[in-house]
Structure 1
Amino acid sequence: MALRAGVLGLGVMGRHHSRVLNGLEGVDFVGVYDPADSVPATIERKPVVKDLHEFLDMGFDYCVVAAPTVYHLDIARSLAERGIHALIEKPVASTSDEATELRALFAAAGLIGGVGHIERYNPALQSARARIEDGLIGEIYQIATRRQGPFPGRIADVGVIKDLASHDIDLTAWVAQQEYVSVNARTAHRSGRDHEDMVIAIGTLSRGTIASHTVNWLTPFKERTTIITGEKGALVADTLTADLTHYQNGVIENTWEQASTFRGVTEGDMTRFALNRKEPLLAEHEAFRDAVLAGDPQGIVTLEEGSRVVEIAERMALDGMNYKL
């Protein structure tokens, strides 16, 4: 029997979620909730309902929460009361306190809760993670990310840290399989909004890997790059094109005895891997569907992990605001 699923919020991501759910094997896409006057009456030939209780009365096994972040906790509370599992768009909540409360609601109800950190399902990062586990680049020394582009009109309730840098926080910890133990940041407000629109952050992970993140909404081109440097070489992931390139350390013969204490790194072979480029949003939905069916959150971004991202993002924002020379 197919799982009954719906979407709350019909913005840009809500429409994408609706499209994927409508064609997802093993799922019956029932409809969407959005109270705005501007939304259509149907999406993917399914009804768009403006009353939340009327919508939930349609009966769901799970829902996708794609409403503005400020509403996530209230919507999650309504879903938990009805015993409905939820995949919640990132950031999981507006604050770390709200994220903790949301997580407790789902834990108490015995429900599966996931967070839509879609970059984890990008083929380039999935492949990078697997190759790191196989020892391709050895110990990870550094992870550097660049996530830049023009301002998106769809964002109004959070700054660039929680909207964009949250991707980098999550993917860095996940790829390295380490926790952040420290983070520092510098932020800027250049577009006249209350929220920051630029950030440069550095962090240290639990096994000594250092991380850096350059993120903004003010660059007139789009960039989504992750560089993972290790003892045996580096991996470069472009999540816009889902390309993964491996740069191997060169093999050199050291004949100078005085220099033997340091073996310099030189350029070696470069390989761009052929990848199966499944749409990340589809992969995310397949993982969440399977988690609900199995009653096991393995394979999804958990509410605990999503809450940790919000906590790190808050530290970045606070450090960026408080810095003075």
Structure 2
Amino acid sequence: MSALRAGVVGLGSIGRHHVRVLRSLPGVELVAVADAGGDPSGVAQGLPVLPDVDALCATGVDLAVVAVPTAHHEPVALALARAGVHALVEKPLAPDVESAQRIARAFSARGLVGAVGHLERYNPALLALRARLDDGHLGALHQISTRRQGPFPGRISDVGVVMDLATHDIDLTGWVAGSAFRSVSARTAHRSGREHEDVVLAVGDLADGTITSHVVDWLSPVKERTTYVLGERGALLANTLTGDLTFHANGSVEATWDAVATFRGVSEGDVVRFAIPKPEPLVSELSAFCAAVAGRPGAHGVVTMDEGVRTVRVAAAVLEAAATGQSVRLPPTEDLARARGPVPGPWPLRPRRSPSLPRG
């Protein structure tokens, strides 16, 4: 079988890493890159830097990654769909629900593999967490809390922290729990003088009754990326910056101190940090996408565009809730029943190397 011909549209802080990883995958040949602003990081390495997506399509690529600013996702993605090119669009799929739906419909109508770059689903800590939930490690779920904080990234100017960062947490929460958001409430703030919000505090509930909370901002000098899942048997804490997963068990030691024994809560038990494999998430994501294209199995192993639409819809509800001060109910959707495996596989493509990727 001949190598898949790949292209990348957008050579900024994210696109350059897609270029690097695509070059490392067996069975894939990077043949074209495009960016109207040129190649500031010098990643083209001999390839001509094409001016736009139409020029990239003319090279006969089989697949492409869309890594342009969110505001430009729709025209670039639709051009790829018209040309019959399979695409992975960086998250969020689009800046609003209607645009996201148009993209998803275009790829579905052509029978193309359309994926969304929700990278956290490929984080080793969350993969291990999801696998343990599928095995009943925590029993019934009670709560999912995420924290995603850090300094403002100068590369973002077209959307606020909800669409840019909180979409990570919206997507991973529904995926981890296997249940869709039912309602959300939120507060946002503008503290840095920009047009868009730079901090959001959101709470929600899922169709299965799990409650959620999310703290996301561009204001903190401390970078933090954590997902905390509480269940009837204890809690799992995933640190997605380091790829670590820790289990905090409910205690089972009998309390003989009367003042403590009268409290009917949960005591602290054993704490275990799991030793887990830690492949680079972007390598796993692009391997899954290229394998889906190579085997034409639809969206096997990827975050689908329908899922991307669902995430944009929840993010829009968060912004509406913050603007109105009211809880927003989401339209009923098919519940996300968990598969036994965290990400379908196996993926036939494997990296030749796995260099580090700065996480956003």
Could you tell me the TM-score, scaled by structure 2's length?
Answer: 0.86
* 1:209-220 → structure 2 map (5 Å cutoff): 209-220=210-221
Using the alignment, how far apart are the partners of 2:154 and 2:43 within structure 1? 23
Corresponding residue number in structure 1 for 2:246 = 245
The one-letter code of the counterpart of 2:244 is D
Segments of 4+ moved more than 6 angstroms: 259-262
Q: Specify the code of the residue in structure 2 equivalent to 1:113.
A: G
Distance 1:55 1:227, change over 3 A: same
Shift of 1:263: 4.8
Question: Residues 6 and 37 of structure 1: is their aligned pair in 2 closer, same or farther, counting only changes over 3 Å?
Answer: closer
Give, as a single letter, the amino acid of the residue that structure 2 aligns with 1:176.
A
Q: Within 1, Cα distance between the matches of 2:142 and 2:251?
A: 17
- Listed as ranges, the gaps of 5+ residues in structure 1 are none
Distance 2:242 2:41 in 1: 32
Distance across 1 between alignment mates of 2:100 and 2:38: 29
Given the superposition, is the C-alpha separation of residues 290 and 38 from structure 1 closer, same or farther in structure 2, using an over 3 Å criterion?
closer
How far, CA to CA, are the matches of 2:45 and 2:138 in structure 1? 44
What does residue 25 of structure 1 align with?
A: 26
Shift of 1:113: 0.3
- Encode CA deviations 1:157-209: one digit per residue, 9 max, x unaligned: 00000000000000000001000000110000111111100000000001100
Considering only aligned residues, what root-mean-square deviation do their CA atoms show, in Å?
A: 2.0
C-alpha displacement at 1:55, in angstroms? 2.0
The offset of 1:43, in angstroms, is 1.4
CA deviation vs aligned residue, 1:43-94 (integer Å, no higher than 9, x gap): 1443211143322111111100000111111111111111100000001011
Cα distance in 2 for residues equivalent to 1:279 and 1:40? 21
Matches within 5 A, 1:64-103: 64-103=65-104
CA contact (8 A) 1:42 1:48 kept: no
TM-score (norm 1): 0.95
Cα distance between partner residues in 2 of 1:88 and 1:255: 58
State the AA in 1 paired with 2:240. T
Instruction: Report the Cα distance in structure 2 between the residues aligned to 1:176 and 1:260, rounded to whole angstroms.
Output: 33
Matched residue, 1:63: 64
Given the superposition, is the C-alpha separation of residues 213 and 203 from structure 1 closer, same or farther in structure 2, using an over 3 Å criterion? same
Output one character per residue of 1:5-44: Cα deviation in whole Å (capped at 9) or x when no partner: 1100011000000000011111011121101156477614
Distance in 2, Cα, partners of 1:234 & 1:51:
48
Indicate yes or no: 2:308 matched with 1:319: no
The corresponding residue for 2:17 is: 16
- Aligned partner of residue 103 in structure 1, secondary structure: helix
Contact 2:71 2:95 survives alignment (8 Å): yes
Which of 300, 303, 306 aligns to 1:304? It is: 306
Alignment length (residue pairs): 323
Contact 2:53 2:80 in 1 (8 A): no
Q: 1:80 to 1:156 in 2, by over 3 A?
A: same
Tell me the distance in 2 between the aligned counterparts of 1:229 and 1:9: 39
Shift of 1:306: 0.6
Residue 179 (structure 1) aligns with:
180
**Does structure 1 retain, via aligned residues, the 8 Å contact 2:249–2:270?**
yes
The alpha carbon displacement at 1:292 in A equals: 1.1
Gaps of 5+ in 2: 327-360
Quickly say closer, same or farther: Cα 1:28–1:198, change in 2 above 3 A. Answer: same
Q: SS of the residue aligned with 1:149?
A: strand
Distance 2:38 2:244 in 1: 41
Residue deviations 1:108-167 (CA, integer Å, cap 9, x gap): 111010000000000000000001101111111000000000000000100000000000
Change (3 A) 1:72 1:27: same
SS at match of 1:115: strand
